[in-house]
Amino acid sequence: MKRIAVWSGAALAAAMVLTIAACGGSDSSPTTPTNPGGTGGTIAATITIGTDGRVSPASVTVPLGSRVNFTNNHNRVHDMNSDPHPEHTQCPELNVGSLTVGQTKATQNLTTARRCGFHDHLDSGNASLQGSITIQ
C-alpha cells in the first residue's frame, strides 16, 4: 500500500511539473501586458495609482507606437482598463488588468492616433481612478 502511495505522489508531482512547463512557468515579468499585440514600443509615460488611491497624472499624451506603464502604489488591488465600463473596448491595448500592490504593467503598443479613456474596473465610478491617454 505504501508503494502505491509513493508512486501516486510521484505521478502527481510529475504532472504538476509538466503543467507548469506547458504554461510557461511562473517567471512572467510584472510588465507583461495581459492582452495580445506588440510589446516593443518605448515606455513614454507612467501613470501611478498613489498611496491616496488617485491616478497621477490623470492625463498623458504619448507618441504613436509607444507604451504606458501603470504602477500601483496603493494599498489594494486595482484593475485598469480602457473605457467604456464594463466592455473595455474603446482602446483594448490599454487593458493591463489586475495590478497588485507595488506592481507595474505596461500597455500594448499604442498605434492608433486617438484619445482613450481608462478606469479601474473594480471601482468604475471613482473619478480619482479615471483618466485619459492621448496618442499622437
pLDDT in tens, 49-67: 999 999 999 999 999 999 9
Sheet holding 43-49, edge to edge: 55-56, 43-49, 67-72, 104-106
Place of cell 509615460: 45
Query: What is the CATH number assigned to the segment(s) 27-135?
Result: 2.60.40.420
CA–CA distance, 42 with 53 (Å, rounded to integer): 26
Give 97's strand partners.
80
Domain range annotation of the chain:
27-135
Compute how many other C-beta atoms are within 10 angstroms of the C-beta atom of residue 13. 10
Look at residue 78 and tell me whether its pLDDT is greater than 70.
yes
* Segments in 23-73 forming alpha helices (H): none
Helix, strand, coil share of the chain (percent; to 5): 20, 30, 45
Task: Provide the pLDDT for residue 40.
Answer: 81
Q: Which residue has the higher pLDDT, 113 or 18?
A: 113
pTM of the model as a whole: 0.72
- For residue 45, give the nearest of 81, 71, 14, 84 by alpha carbon: 71
Residue 46 host element (H or E): strand 43-49
